[in-house]
Amino acid sequence: MTAGDIVKITVSAGLKQGQITPTELCQKCLSLIKKTKFLNAYITVTEEVALKQAEESEKRYSKGQSLGDLDGIPFAVKDNFSTSGIETTCASNMLKGYVPPYNATVVQKLLDQGALLMGKTNLDEFAMGSGSTDGVFGPVKNPWSYSKQYREKRKQKPLRANEDSDWLITGGSSGGSAAAVSAFTCFAALGSDTGGSTRNPAALCGLVGLKPSYGLVSRHGLIPLVNSMDVPGILTRCVDDAAIILGVLAGQDPKDSTTVQDPVKPFVLPSLTDVSKLCVGIPKEYLVPELSSEVQSLWSKAADLFESQGAKVIEVSLPHTSYSIVCYHVLCTSEVASNMARFDGLEYGHRCNNDVSLEAMYAATRREGFNDVVRGRILSGNFFLLKENYENYFIKAQKVRRLIANDFMDVFNSGVDVLLTPTTLREAIPYSEFIKEDNRTRSAQDDIFTQAVNMAGLPAISVPVALSNQGLPVGLQFIGRAFCDQQLLIIAKWFEKQVQFPIIQLQELIDDYSAIIENEKFASVSLTQ
Amino acid sequence: MAAPILRLGCAGRRCALAGVKGASRHRRGAPNGFALNEMRVQSSMAPRPVITAQKPRKGEHEWAPVVGLEIHAQISSNSKLFSGSQVHFAAPPNSLVSFFDASLPGTLPVLNRRCVEAAVMTGLALNCRINKKSLFDRKHYFYADLPAGYQITQQRLPIAVSGILTYGVCEGNKRNQIITKTVRIKQIQLEQDSGKSLHDHPQSQTLVDLNRAGVGLLEVVMEPDMTCGEEAATAVRELQLILQALGTSQANMAEGQLRVDANISVHHPGEPFGVRTEVKNLNSARFLAKAIDYEIQRQIYELENGGEILNETRSFDSKLGCTVPMRDKEGKQDYRFMPEPNLPPLVLYDADSLPAGADSQQVVDIDYIRERLPELPSVTRDKLVQQYGMLPEHSFTLLNEVGLLAFFQSVIKETRAEPKLVTNWVLNTFLGYLKQQNLTVSESPVTPSALAELLTLLDGKVISSSAAKQVFEELWTGKGKTAAHIVSEKQLGLMQDQEALEQFCQAVMEQHPQVVTDVKNGNLRAVNKLIGLVRKATLSRADPTAIRKILEKQLSL
């Protein structure tokens, strides 16, 4: 049994054939959400909304008027997407209690397909982080910390004294979404991806994490981190599910002027049988000293796999890769400084009690509303944007960004179809280990393989490849040509089929886990092929 | 999508009409409240004495004042620059506010095509080069009526650059000589307006109205080619006429649709420009001229008395008639400009670059707009001069008064009187009455038709010129009577009966033999006396020309 077997067809087919009703499915997920509450995956659980939607979905099924593959399918949304009538916090004091009056386009599109919104998932405050540890609602715990696979390996080693601090991080910043999908509380989740925030937790949680091409999916309603790099991301248990979701989300949105006008075709993924015409590029700059030998070896094996199946695998160069982190730092903080200016306590969100003067109110509101990470980035960004610094920092960073994008262009123009890289340096690490470094250091380290893609606006996907010696997931990343998202997904699907990544075993986490997994109806929906 | 929906986004505890205590400093960029109605004052601005700043006083260096302007014109459009909310003046507070205008997180700007077209039209009318690619930038500053904390503008690459505005200044003793001057247009940029802050000082509160937040503005930057308040005010007036002719802005200064900032410095000719000050938020042409002239004099005085000019922002105190420094430090703050990442470059096309099969709703074609530009004021004035033999200064007056040209044209259309007579009556009698009573053309009690009828009567010699004045007076104070009605009621019609008039003449000659003798002795001026006497006898109902004819015949002159 592998994760790849949990194919969308089985879920929706189950619903269509009446083997399970949307309400039953919804209740299963709600029950799992409660059982896994300690993971801290959700900030808000929208139980009533979900049950009401399930009821409506059920009516449609009973009339034979299902809206499609996603009708009745539970999904979760990162808490930086606006949801009408549902609190949207960005895991920040600044937006606690803020209830948007509108839905983000991507949320609306899923709702229009009859999908069930289970809740809003946890993240680093305003998506600034790579661990999902720096939100006001506390850190997210990786479900794999409690998996049979991980626990079995650990028994061979001495247990640590403080068991509670021994859990693993999910990666981030879309860690809540990743944990939610990984723990079976929903079938798909929306994340956001600015420097790797979808792909990174996908890799650490054994999921498929898709970052579509910039401009393919609307950002309207996504509370921005870096407008020029943000993309709604998709977290699922298999590539086909990601393709279905992307098919629904993609397309021009009149409310987002950066979406492309070309009509988008539905993403149907034919099964690739022959990779002999494929050229896979291996960027040599991605072989960094910090890369764990295990990940490196899996990366190398993956390359061999393609080669053994007839694909052309070549080493390529992305010479400006090493400048990516510092370039990203300047561009990201500058846009953050600008985007965060609206949080002034006047129109919405937190407002301090200080009313001495307008300036004092602004200062106190923002000091109370933002955490150190956000305030630090605002400070740096405003520094880079100062008149005397603009040329030396922002303009230079923009030029470097262009060079980084050109690196990719050159490689793809030379005939490479797809790049194969690691997603992360290593598998998930314990929280206690993670917090030894500060947010900035972690973000810089952890985005190393993912961030350049955002600078270039390219589509990329992290696919789980195998478990490490510790029994934890490792993901590899494929990077495609701009707007060739479908080709990327087809290749990822082929790869997914070859590697047969194992399904997470959560028996020790959820006492009646086997009952849930082996429950006849549930199993027939999610686990049979 | 107005305030009620917005409140949902505020978690039900606070609406957009936010009260902010202690926000009492001066405002940058736009007037705080409503301006006085200055339109009619401004129209009487033309015949003001030339200021004396340029003229050197005895024994002193000559000073050359330098004046540049930044003008914000609100674009006349149904919806805002980047959102779908409507644009209306004086709508209930916060009733025209979309989620984007209130800067709800996650909202994005969507460029309004109409505003782009308005900018292109204005650029073409001001002889600018239209940039086929222009960019948007964010300009950051914190203020209660700027919800996003930045304004979207075009700092790096504006939509139009390098234009020329031609305007005419009245000179000469009688101020009847039109001197043509030009000012270079540096650039025209599209940008968002801010909301309005109303400072309630007694309660130490500020009320914010976001109706205006996000309305499209054209910022027209004029090079420092002007030298005095009158030039600046006249250039602004000409721009205002152009914007109104194009329909790109209502450009009503009283409603804040046209706002002017002036950059002013003085220097000795041949030397580099002096340090400049910026006088902000001038919302009437009269105050603009006054503020500039005051500021020029102030700077000269400062410099001549050993003082120095600070590069500062000042405001005009219309009550005191002087400029005062704005005490906040905003003028010196760093706006931390950066590219607006949510708007792709604005690309315009012309006939050559227009892609084949392009959807005309998706592209803006500069040539298409150029071909359909309406008639500009300068052309209208030339036509008036050519068509009606009018003096150039008269054509200026006709256009400068709001509604006067249309009034004139209606009269012309409906009367048989000569254009010269119409021009004379409209510019002297009619305009004189308006000025005296401080009324606008649209408020006039006399309609174009009524004046047309009166002038037809005058032209057909049914009434005399002096009777016509009397009729006009009646029409003005009138009770809805027509000119013909007034003429018959007051018996103001000229005597059309030749025999009766001859009898009047005969009687007058008999009654005044001495005058007749004077005439016969060669004192031709005495004829005029006789004419006057006949007119008096006819109660001014006789045409003097007709009387003269009869007298000359009877006296065999």
Q: Would you state the pLDDT for residue A5?
A: 41
pLDDT value at position B90?
85
Could you give the residue numbers annotated as active site of A? 78, 173, 197
CA distance A389 to chain B (A): 10
Residue A507 belongs to some domain of the structure: yes
Report the distance separating Cα B95 and Cα B2, nearest Å.
5
Q: Best of A346, A378, A395, A399 to disrupt the B interface by mutation (most B CBs within 10 Å)?
A: A346
Q: Is A336 on the interface with B (CB under 8 A)?
A: no
- Where helices occur in B202-317 by DSSP H, the ranges are 229-246, 285-304
Q: How far apart are CA A440 and CA A351, in angstroms?
A: 27
Closest by Cβ to A355, choosing from B14, B22, B148: B22
Chain-centroid distance of CA B135 in Å reads 31
Count the domains in chain A. 1
Burial class (CB in 10 A: 0-12, 13-18, 19+), B460: exposed
- Whose tokens are 């009869």? That residue is B550
> Measured between CA atoms, how close is A453 to chain B, in angstroms?
17
Residues from chain A that touch B10, judged by Cβ atoms under 8 A, are: 347-348
Q: Which two tokens stand for residue B379?
A: 């052309």
Q: What percent of chain A has pLDDT over 90?
A: 78
| Of A35-44, A258-267, A306-315, B212-221, minimum mean pLDDT range | A258-267
For residue A512, pLDDT over 60 is answered with no
Is A385 close to B21, i.e. CB distance below 8 A? no
Residues of A in contact with B23 (CB under 8 A): 357-358
Helix (H) / strand (E) element for B166: namely strand B160-171
Helices (runs of H) and strands (runs of E) counted in chain B: 18, 17
Give CA angle at B230 (B225, B236), nearest 5°.
Answer: 70
**CB-based contacts of B475: which residues, under 8 Å, 6+ apart?**
B445, B446, B450, B451, B454, B481, B483, B486
Give the number of other CB atoms < 10 A from CB of residue A309.
15
Say yes or no: B199 contacts chain A, CB-CB below 8 A.
Answer: no
Across the strands, what pairs with B205? B21, B200
A475: tokens are 């993901």
Is B20 in CB contact (< 8 Å) with chain A? yes
Q: Does residue A366 lie in a domain region?
A: no
**Residue A101 contacts B, CB cutoff 8 Å:** yes
Three-state SS at B122: helix
Contacts of B403 by beta carbon, 8 Å cutoff, 6+ apart: B440, B441, B442
Asked if the C-beta of A48 comes within 8 angstroms of chain B's C-beta atoms, the answer is: no
For every residue of A316-329, DSSP letters joined together read E--TTGGGHHHHHH
Contacts of A107 in chain B (CB under 8 A): none
β partners of residue B302: none
Residue identified by tokens 């849930």 is A516
Q: How far apart are CA A401 and CA A218, in angstroms?
A: 22
Residue from A219, A358, A370, A393 whose CB has the most chain B CBs within 10 Å, to mutate:
A358
Confidence of residue B466 (pLDDT cuts 50, 70, 90): confident
How many beta-carbon pairs below 8 A join chains A and B? Answer: 144
Q: Could you tell me which residues are beta bridge partners of residue A75?
A: A117, A188
Within 8 A of B357 by CB-CB distance, chain A residues are none
Question: Which candidate from B11, B150, B341 shows the least CB-CB separation from A228?
Answer: B341
Cα–Cα distance measured from residue A7 to residue A239, given in angstroms and rounded to the nearest whole number = 9
Sheet holding B19-21, edge to edge: B19-21, B205-209, B196-200
Query: By the 8 A CB rule, do B165 and B239 touch?
Result: yes
Chain B hits for A226, Cβ within 8 Å: 341
How many Cα atoms occupy the beta-carbon half-sphere of B354 within 13 Å? 16
Q: Which of residues 122-181 of B touch A (CB under 8 A)?
A: 138, 140, 142, 144, 147-150
CA distance, residue A420 to nearest chain B CA (Å) = 29
Residues of A in contact with B206 (CB under 8 A): 358
Residue A109's domain comprises 3-147+169-322+399-526
Judged by CB atoms closer than 8 Å, whether chains meet at A222 and B106 is answered as yes
Instruction: Find out whether B28 and B259 touch, Cβ atoms under 8 Å.
Output: no
Distance separating alpha carbons of residues B224 and A471, to the nearest angstrom:
73
Residue A152 included in any domain: no
Return the pLDDT at A10: 57
Interchain CB distance below 8 Å, A337 and B99: no
Interface of A with B in 123-152 (CB under 8 A): none
Tokens of B43: 């129209």
- Interface-testing mutation among B20, B24, B135, B153, with chain A (most A C-beta atoms within 10 A): B20
Q: Which residues of B192-230 are buried (b: 16+ CB within 10 A; e: fewer)?
A: bbbbbbebeeeeebbbbbbbbbbbbbbbbbbbbbbbbbb
B21 Cβ under 8 Å from any chain A Cβ: yes
Residues 342-401 (A) with a CB less than 8 A from some CB of B? 342-344, 346-348, 351, 355-362, 382, 385-387, 390, 394
Burial class (CB within 10 angstroms; exposed 0-12, middle 13-18, buried 19+) of B239? buried
Q: Spell out a b/e string for B248-285, using b for 16 or more CB atoms within 10 Å of the CB, else e.
A: bbbbbbbbbbbbbbbbbbbbeeeeeebebbbbbbbbbb
- Round to whole Å and give the CA distance between A529 and A8: 10
Residue A100 forms contact with B (CB below 8 Å): yes
Is A347's CB within 8 Å of B9's CB?
Answer: yes
With beta carbons under 8 A apart, name residues in chain B contacting A221. 106-107
Are B183 and B235 in contact, with CB atoms under 8 Å apart?
yes
Q: pLDDT > 70: what percent of chain B?
A: 87
**Is B102 buried (19+), middle (13-18) or exposed (0-12) by CB count in 10 A?**
buried
pLDDT at site B532: 85
Reduced to 3 states (helix: H, G, I; strand: E, B; else coil), residue B133 is strand
B200 pLDDT tier (thresholds 50, 70, 90): confident
**Lowest-pLDDT range, A91-95, B36-40, B453-457?**
B36-40
Give yes or no for B18 touching A (CB within 8 A): yes
Distance of CA A340 to CAs A130, B104, B117, Å?
19, 12, 32
- Pairing verdict, β A312-316 and A279-283: parallel
Tokens of A421: 């890289």
User: Cβ contacts (< 8 Å) between B106 and chain A: which residues?
Assistant: 81-82, 100, 104, 219-224
> Nearest CA to CA, how far is A329 from chain B (Å)?
15
Q: Is residue A484 part of a domain?
A: yes
CA-based nearest residue in chain A for residue B346: A257
Q: Which two tokens stand for residue A135?
A: 């939100």
Provide Rg for chain B, Cα atoms.
Answer: 30
Please report the ipTM that was assigned to this predicted complex.
Answer: 0.93
Residue A353 neighbours by CB under 8 Å, 6+ apart: A364
Dihedral sign (CA A294, A297, A301, A307):
positive
Which pLDDT band, with edges at 50, 70 and 90, does B319 fall under? confident
Q: Does A38 touch chain B (CB under 8 A)?
A: no
Using 50, 70 and 90 to split pLDDT, how confident is the model at A523? very low
Is B250 at the interface with chain A, CB within 8 A? no
Is the CB of B20 less than 8 angstroms away from the CB of A348?
no
The SS3 call for residue B88 is coil
The predicted-structure confidence for B135-170, as pLDDT tens digits, reads as follows 999 999 999 999 999 999 999 999 999 999 999 888
Interface contact flag, B108 A255, Cβ < 8 Å: yes
Write down the pLDDT at residue A510.
62
Question: In this complex, is the C-beta atom of B336 within 8 Å of any C-beta atom belonging to chain A?
Answer: yes
Model pLDDT, residue B332: 66
Nearest-5° Cα angle at B492, B489 to B493: 105
Confidence at A163, pLDDT banded by 50, 70, 90: low
CA dihedral A382, A384, A386, A391 (to 10 degrees): -160
Q: Which chain A residues are closer than 8 Å to B20 by Cβ?
A: 346, 355, 358, 361
Q: Decide if A258 and B23 are in contact by the 8 Å CB cutoff.
A: no
Q: Is residue A339 part of a domain?
A: no
For A424-459, the pLDDT digits (tens) are: 999 999 999 998 888 888 877 888 999 999 999 999
Task: Tell me if B20 and A358 make a contact (CB, 8 A cut-off).
Answer: yes
Of B108, B190, B97, nearest to B145 by C-alpha is B97
The pair of structure tokens assigned to B20 is 């902010």
Mean pLDDT, residues A509-522: 46
Q: What are the tens digits of pLDDT across the range A2-51? A: 444 443 445 666 777 777 899 999 999 999 999 999 999 999 999 999 99
Find, among B112, B113, B118, B120, the residue nearest to B366 by Cα. Answer: B120
pLDDT tops 50 at residue B4: no
- Nearest chain B residue to A349, by CA: B10
Nearest to B103 among A90, A219, A347 (CB): A347
Residue A413 lies in a domain: yes
Q: How far apart are CA A217 and CA A190, in angstroms?
A: 12
Cβ–Cβ < 8 Å for B274, B29: no
Across B486-491, average pLDDT: 74
* Contact between residue A59 and residue A118 where contact means Cβ atoms under 8 Å apart: no
Alpha-carbon distance B22 to nearest alpha carbon in chain A (angstroms): 5
Please report how many Cα atoms fall inside a 13 Å half-sphere around the Cα of residue B212, on the Cβ side.
25
Task: Give yes or no for residue B11 having a pLDDT over 50.
Answer: no
The helix/strand count (H/E) of chain A reads as 20, 11
Q: Which of A101, A228, A356 sits opposite B9 (nearest CB)?
A: A101
Contact residues, chain B, for A78 at CB < 8 Å: none
CATH number at residue A62: 3.90.1300.10
- The pLDDT of residue A401 is above 90: yes
* 8 Å CB contact of B208 and A334: no
- pLDDT of B458 higher than 90: no
Provide DSSP, B372-426: TPPPPHHHHHHHHHHHH---HHHHHHHHHSTTHHHHHHHHHHH--S-HHHHHHII
